Structures are given as structure tokens and as C-alpha cells.
Structure 1
Amino acid sequence: MALLGNLIKTGIELNQKLSFDLKSSAKQQEDQLISLLNKAKSTAFGKYYDFNTILKSPDPIKEYQYKVPIHNYNQIHERWWHQQQSVEDITWPGKPPFFALSSGTTGKSSKRIPITDDFLQSMREVGSSMIRSLPNYDFPETLFESEMLMLSSSANLSKNEQGHLEGEISGINVSNFPGWYDFFYRPGKEIASISNWDDRVKRIVEEAPGWNIGAIAGIPSWVLLMLQEVIKVHNLETIHDIWPNLTVYASGGVAFETYRKDFEKICKKPLTIMDTYLASEGFFSYSTDPKSMNMRLALSHGYFYEFIPFDERGVDDFGQVIDNPMTLTIDEVEMDQDYVLIISTCAGAWRYMIGDTIKFTSLDPPEIKISGRTKFFLNVVGSQLSEEKMDEAILAVSDAMGITVNEYSVSAIKDEKGAYVHQWIVVSENEIDEKSFAEQLDEALKDANKNYNVARNKALKEIRVRAIGKDLYHEFLEANKKKGGQIKTPKVMGEDRMKEFLDYTS
């Protein structure tokens, strides 16, 4: 096995040296758009927006932006995507064999995102690019002899009455793994197909002693819960007592930093954390540098990106994209500016607003970090709090108080006198002095955001904190059918939803 690990590592290193693209980022992106337009020019969408004329333009990017409007999910679904469930050649050639059901962090019902064969291939290619970056990390050869545990949603897909299969994107990916993945993929398709989350984790825990796990991938909250259960059931001190070769954790879905301390508690040796940006709409970026959590943008994998400044040039005071926003391409962006991400993909998404905001941490090569969700922007009374600023404040207060807070939710609600307050619910295993936490959180947010400071002196009268344990939090998620391997819960809630949460935890 040592020889096998050496051969695999050497092969990846050689592949990395041979894999390079001399084209500029702008040229790579222009090529991607032209390829997408050519492939879809005979679809209903391509004919309606006259892709043939766009392709003949001396500046196809500008012509594309002029002719094709920006879409949110409701707009593109109601007019185009819902037809693809029964009719071919709507926004992409053929009829999608799968539709991804979103995890529902925003909105009450699941979205249905078309998943084409070209799209699945693009996601595999981004994954291959990520693997080619592994030599940057100088991992031990034992990692390349071990197995990878991917904590996905259920791979037991449901068949829609119109013929396609439905499930969350991670379950669709797992169900389409080639047979040779069985050599290293755990828990395997049989266990991954168990629909009930608790039953799936129980089987993983039972099988854990027989596996040689070197890498884990999944959303931090659920991965942490699963690892803690393995440790508890097998009476271990750390997860390395059962998986000594565990070296890498590929995080994704939510910011990792609020979970770092809890991961460190259950590990005997440090894990290398690699961040990924993998959504129902695409696999857009991944970490390539051991000294950074920043992610390399996938430029030549079936995606064309546009960027709307998350300020008065692109959004209103509530974080909603304005009419005719400034829209930039990869060669026009700046460092450390929040942008609303707009994508066009080989699944038939055209100028689609995914709902995330990103920042560029490097321009050459293009590297990003996710700074938040457009709908997780709290600005009811002018506080202008982004998810990034809220995460930073939660971390600062947690460190100051010597505690860990993994999850939180916040809402602007009216108190008994009709004045607005910010109601927070924080989730922790530690005992928390709610009054002290609220005071320190208030000060941290004032220091981080001048608009919040102004709001606190005017319309925002108070900040309230309720602390709950993880067991109660998971009970609430289960009661609302939001428990599972790829479920992400909203950090910013509407007033009615927060009151429901408060009632449940009282």
C-alpha cells in the first residue's frame, strides 16, 4: 500500500505540472460564454434571445448583457425551467435527467434546479482540478492510500411524475459516481441511499471501525455531529483514535470559522481545512493554498461569471438588485469589494442570480471568498449588517468569553411598544450569560459597522440574545424538516419565523 500511495501522489504531481492554461482569465471566460451560447443557440431560450446574433457580434459579452436580462429563481423558473420538466430544448439541449431540490435556506418550498449531463461532467472536472492542487499541500503518502468519507444528502432519489429524478445536489452527485469510486468512497452508495438522517449516521457509526478515512467532505455542522457520534459510541478520546490517517477536511456550504474550535477538540492532530464553493447551481471554486482558505475560481469548466457591486451601484438599501445595475466581468473586478454573483451555466442558467455575495482576495489568479447571502443582509432599520460582519462579531465575542458558538439566527422584530429590536438566538454547548453576550455583541457590531452604530442611536432600540443548546436546536430543525447532511439553516430570519423559533425554545 505504501508503494500505491507513492505512485498516486507522484501521478498527481506530474499531472499538475502538465496542466496549465496560458490564456488570460478574461479570454477563458469569453471562450466559456461563446461555448455556452453555441451549445444552446437552438434551444427555445437561445432562439428567443437570438444567440446567433450575439455570437456574430464583435463584442459577444456586451451584446449578451444587452439582450439577456438578469434572472432570479422565480423569474427563470416560471418562464423557462418548469417547462424543461416535460419538454426538450428549453434552456439547454435535451431534457434534464435530474432536478436538484435546494436545501431551502431562503423561502418555504424547495427550488428545482435543472441538472444536465454536461453539468454533472463540469462538476467532476472542477473536482479533478481540485485534486490536481493537492501537491501544493505536501500531504503524506498515507493520505493517498486512504478512503474519503463524503457526508451527502440521501442518494435515494425520487422519480418525478414527468420522468426525471429529484434530490439534493450532493445526493445526485453520489448516485452518479462511476463504479471505480467504490475503491475509495465511503460510506458507499448503499448507506448514502438511506433517506433518514439518523439512520444513515447510525450505519456510518457502525461501519466506522472498518474504514481507513483520510479525508472528509461535507457541511461543518453535520460533519461535526457525525464525528462526535462516532467518538461517543466507540468510547474514543478523539476521532484520530479510530482514523489515524485523517488529514483533510473539505468544508463547504457555510463559513467554517465558527466550527473550528469544536473540530480542534475532537482531533489529536491538526486537520488541513480546504474550503469549497459547491452549490446546486455549480461547483465554482476550491482552496488551492495550504496557508489560506481563499478559493480559486473555476474559469474553464462550463461557467460564465458576472459581478454586481453590493453597494449603491448594484443594490438598494435592502440588498435587492436594482434595475439596470452595474455589471462587471472577471477583468473589471476589484479586491475586497462585495459582489453579487451572476452565473450562466451548462445546465441552462442564464444570467442567473444565485443569491451569494463574494469578495476577490486575489485577481491573478482569481481567488474568492464567500462573504454572505443577499437574503442574509439585515437592514430593516438601516443597520446594513452582512453575514460576514455578523460572523466576525460572533467569533470575537465567543473568543472573549471563552466559549464556542457554531450556529445563530437573528431577526429585526418589534417589541411590546412597537420599537425595533434585534433578536438573536445563539447555539452553544456552553453556559452563556445572555445579558453579557448581548452587550459584547452589540459593541462588536458597533465597532465593525458604522451604519449599525447609527441605527443603534436611532431606530434600533435594543439587542436581545437567547442561548440554546445543540439538542434543542436540532429538535427545532427536525420539527421543521431541516435535518440532514446538506441542510443549511438561515442566519437572518423574518419576524414571523423568529417568533416561531422563540416559541419553540421557550
Structure 2
Amino acid sequence: MKLLSPTISRLARMRHWRIEQWMNNPIAAQRDVLQDLVTHGQYAEMGRQYGLSKVFSIRDFKAAIPIHEYNDIKPYIEKLMAGEDNLLWNTPVKWFAKSSGTTCNKSKFIPITEESLQDGHYQASKDVLTMYYYFNPDSDLLTGKGLVVGGSHQVSLLNNDIQYGDLSAVLLQNAPVWSGWIRTPELSIALLDEWENKIEQLAQSTIEEDVTSISGVPTWTILLIKRILQITGKQTLKEVWPNLELYIHGGVSFVPYREQFKKLVGEGVRFMEIYNASEGFFAAQDSPEADGLLLLLQHGIFYEFMPVEEYGKPNPKTIGLKDVQTGKQYALVVSTNGGLWRYLVGDTMEFTTLYPFRIKVTGRLKHYMNAFGEEVMVDNADKAIAIASKKLNVVVSDYTAAPVYFSEGNNGCHEWLVEFEKDPENIAAFAYELDCALKTLNSDYEAKRHKDIALRMPLVKALPRNTFNKWLFSKGKLGGQHKVPRLSNDRKLLEEILGFAAY
């Protein structure tokens, strides 16, 4: 199989001109995408409702269609799941990616069309491979197996012809037959939905394989790695799989996990970040040295960017690529070949470079702390946790934080619930380093902390191991793409999780 490696590498790199084409002509590429979307969408019910047949410019498009959140399109989704067609898009919708917030029990069902699979998710996956080979021409990546730590799969109870599952499950179920030759484990294990059993079967069934890459959310991948090392008695994954060369991650920030992964996997394994959501494959790391992820511009998605201060206004303004700036916070708005029209994804992001356009995800519109004007985003929190952990030589496996409001005898503060893999000798010292890091990263936080006038020192509580998993399990969200919200602007979620901590 290694004899094929140079040929595979050459073929992958030959495709790079396609990527360079839209990288070098980003505005034109996006205009072409929008034209294709409108051409399809004008024949669907929503397209007729908003008069897409009369839309001939981006300005017309934005004037015709309002910004949508999930509840705005939920009536269409329910009809689609009952078997109706031609509502959001003019080709059948037979699949839905189930994606749910962790603050309530309700799930979102994002429509997946054949176009969004082929021209979006799968095309983007090929581009990710091309970009990797472009910078690593001597790679043997495809001579072994890719271990996929995926989600679960179920058949919808509403209609036997309509199926749904986590995005990873939908992609696995629809992947071409040949992909099974370079993937592990077998589909029946990959799609198990009971995670304790799944981790065990994943570990047992893959130990003897020649695994060259792993892809999955860091939280669950770490659990799998630890189980594999426990079974084999090895210190690192490189001892188990000598040809392992790449870990592809996404779903949550990798910043708090990077050092832990380096120790677990061993020397010589590269890390590559992607931004692949239920709504579309948005971005991927195109270069090992680049700051941020390259925005994918010709994959069936038209992008708009809403300055975060516009959120909540009656007619929020959005801008296109030619007007964005680096370092500013935007909420992502997409129109897709899956039938989403000016859909507010909910993620916040900022541009790290322009031409080419690279981004980093900074958090969620509703996941931040600003109870005192401090405007702490998830990106700040992840970096601060990583800095404090490194200084004190501790390992954090998960965390969440929320404000403690002013009381008669005290001013406010932030309360952090932290589950440590390696505990600090002194929790107060960890709180101090966390505070110092946040001051360095966020000037608004630093100002509010000045002389403890608005904010006093953070309150950090170390939770017993497995507390967050117990909470996720209670919500039916253990495993896959589900994760604990990092930050909240009220105490409801934090108090819920505290209830699962058996001190």
C-alpha cells in the first residue's frame, strides 16, 4: 500500500489549483455561489414566498429575505420531516443532521440535501485532504486507516423514509462504499449511540488496525485514547500505532486540550482543525503556520457577517467579505444548498487574515459573560484556562462559568466549575493565574477587576470527575458533537451542573 503513497500525494496536490482559484477570486466565487442558490431556491415554497425569481443582486437578496433563526424555519422543517418536499430547496430532503443545544432538551434538525452532501461536506473533505498533502507531500496518510470517532444514527419516527442522526453519522451513512476500505471501525460500531459501550468497542476493534489518522471531538477522543492506552499498557498512541500522523479536530476549541493531546499521542503527530457544522462545512486549516482557518468559499454556502452589536435589533445589518475587518466580532449568517436562507448559525467569529480570508471561532452568541460589562467570550476563557494550566502544570478536562451577581455584602465575580484531569496543588493559585490571564487577554475584564470595584477574584470550584458527563447523560446528550457550554450569562446552567457534583 505504501507504494501508492507518492501517487496519492501527487494526485491530491494536483487538485490544489481548484482551491487557489477561489482563494484568489473570493468575491467572484461568492457571487457565483449565491447565483446558483437563488436559481435553485426560486422554485421552492420559501423562494416563491420571498420572490427569489426577481432577485438579481446581493442587495436584492438581503432586501427580500429577513434573517432567520431556527424557530423561524421550524414549521418548514416539521413539514419536511413529515414527507413534504420542495419547501426550502427544490430537491428532496431525506436526511437531517440532529444538532441540539445543551441548555434545553429540544433538538434542531438541519436539512441535508444531496447537493449539500456532494458539493458541500464531501467536496470540503477532499479539499482538506488536498491542503494537507500540499504541505506534507511525503505523507503516508492514506496507506492506513482513518479512525472516526463519530456520532449516533437513528431512523426518524415521523416517517420511515426520513432519517436523521448526528452530522458525522449522516456523512458516514452516505459515504461511498470505497471509503469503508480506508476507515475504521465498521459502520455498526461507528454509529452506536450508547457512549460507554461505544468507547469500549471502538478501542477493542481498532487496536490491531494500522491507524494513520484520527478525527473527532477532543472531549470524546481523549476518553478513547485513554482506554486504548489502558488496554495496551502503552504510554502513547504512537506506540500503539507507529504510523499515526494526523489528528483532525473540531467542534470545540482545541486550546485547553492541546498539551494533554501532545502527551497522549506522542511525538510526530500533526494537528489539523476544521469547522464542520450541521449547517455546512465552513472552514479548515489550510497551512500549519497560518493563523486561523481558511473560509471555504465555493462549497454551496453564501456568507454574511453580522457585527455582534446588531444582534437583537429589528433589522440587523450584515456585511460581505469585501467589508469585513480583522479582530472584530461577527455572528455568522449563511445561505446554503441545504435550504437554509440567511440563517443565523449562532457562532461568533473574527477574521485573522484577509485575502485569503481566515477566521477563528470565538464562541456563541448566547454563550458569553457580560453581566458587568466585561464581555468575556469563549475564546478568552479557553486561552486563560490553557495559560493557567500550563503555569501550574495541571490538566483541565472540562469547565463552565457563570456570573455571581452583586449582593448586599459583596460585589460580583465569575464562578468557574472545573473538572481537572490533573489537580492543582492549590485551587486558589489556579484562580489567581486564571484571573491574571483573563486580565491580559481582555481589557474590559481588566478594567472591571481594577481594585475589585466591579468584579472580585474569580471563584473556582473543582468538580469531582465525571460530573459533566453525568449532566450530559441526564440531558440525553452524552457523546458525539454534544458539549458543555463554556460560558453563560445567567446561573441556571451552572446551578444545574452543581446538582450533579457529589462532593
- Short-chain TM bin: over 0.9
| 2:39 aligned counterpart, secondary structure | helix
Q: Which residue of 2 aligns with 1:178?
A: 176
Map 1:444-483; keep pairs closer than 5 Å: 444-456=437-449, 457-483=452-478
Q: Gaps (5+ residues) in structure 2?
A: none
| Cα-to-partner distance string for 1:19-68 (whole Å, 9 max, x where unaligned) | 6426621111111111101101011111111001113xxxx101111121
Greater Cα shift, 10-19 or 382-391: 10-19
| 1:406 aligned counterpart, secondary structure | strand
Matched, 1:436 2:429: yes
Q: Gaps (5+ residues) in structure 1?
A: 315-319
Q: Which residue of 1 aligns with 2:294?
A: 296
Map 1:344-423; keep pairs closer than 5 Å: 344-414=335-405, 417=408, 420-423=412-415
| 1:357 aligned counterpart, secondary structure | strand
Q: Which residue of 2 aligns with 1:425?
A: 417
Letter in 2 for 1:463: P
Answer yes or no: is the 8 Å Cα contact 1:101–1:111 preserved in 2. yes
Map 1:45-444; keep pairs closer than 5 Å: 45-55=46-56, 60-78=57-75, 80-86=76-82, 87-121=84-118, 122-138=120-136, 140-154=138-152, 156-163=153-160, 164-292=162-290, 294-310=292-308, 312=309, 314=310, 320-414=311-405, 417=408, 420-432=412-424, 433-444=426-437
Report the Cα offset of residue 141 of structure 1: 4.1
CA distance in 2, matches of 1:357, 1:275: 17
CA distance in 2, matches of 1:324, 1:123: 31
Answer yes or no: is the 8 Å Cα contact 2:285–2:294 preserved in 1. yes
Q: Which residue of 2 aligns with 1:499?
A: 495
Letter in 2 for 1:5: S
CA distance in 2, matches of 1:459, 1:269: 45
| Cα-to-partner distance string for 1:452-491 (whole Å, 9 max, x where unaligned) | 2343444445521111254333333333333213222211
Matched, 1:42 2:43: yes
The total of aligned residue pairs comes to 493
Report the Cα offset of residue 274 of structure 1: 0.7
TM-score normalised to structure 1 length? 0.92
| 2:257 aligned counterpart, secondary structure | helix
Report the Cα offset of residue 337 of structure 1: 1.6
Answer yes or no: is the 8 Å Cα contact 1:309–1:339 preserved in 2. yes
Greater Cα shift, 217-226 or 372-381: 372-381
Distance 1:355 1:18, change over 3 A: closer
What is the identity percentage for the equivalent residue pairs of Structure 1 and Structure 2? 29
Letter in 2 for 1:112: F
Query: RMSD value over aligned CA atoms?
Result: 2.0
Greater Cα shift, 458-467 or 359-368: 458-467
| Cα-to-partner distance string for 1:360-414 (whole Å, 9 max, x where unaligned) | 1221121111111111121122221111111121122112212122321001134
Report the Cα offset of residue 13 of structure 1: 2.2
| Cα-to-partner distance string for 1:213-249 (whole Å, 9 max, x where unaligned) | 1111111111111011100011112111111110011
Answer yes or no: is the 8 Å Cα contact 2:431–2:457 preserved in 1. no
Report the Cα offset of residue 83 of structure 1: 2.5
CA distance in 2, matches of 1:234, 1:254: 28
| Cα-to-partner distance string for 1:395-450 (whole Å, 9 max, x where unaligned) | 22112212122321001134775864321111212222222222332233233323
Answer yes or no: is the 8 Å Cα contact 2:110–2:279 preserved in 1. yes
Letter in 1 for 2:448: A
Letter in 2 for 1:496: K
Matched, 1:486 2:478: no
CA distance in 2, matches of 1:284, 1:414: 37
Greater Cα shift, 268-277 or 340-349: 268-277
Answer yes or no: is the 8 Å Cα contact 1:438–1:464 preserved in 2. yes
| 2:472 aligned counterpart, secondary structure | helix
CA distance in 2, matches of 1:411, 1:282: 30
Greater Cα shift, 487-496 or 354-363: 487-496
Letter in 2 for 1:111: K
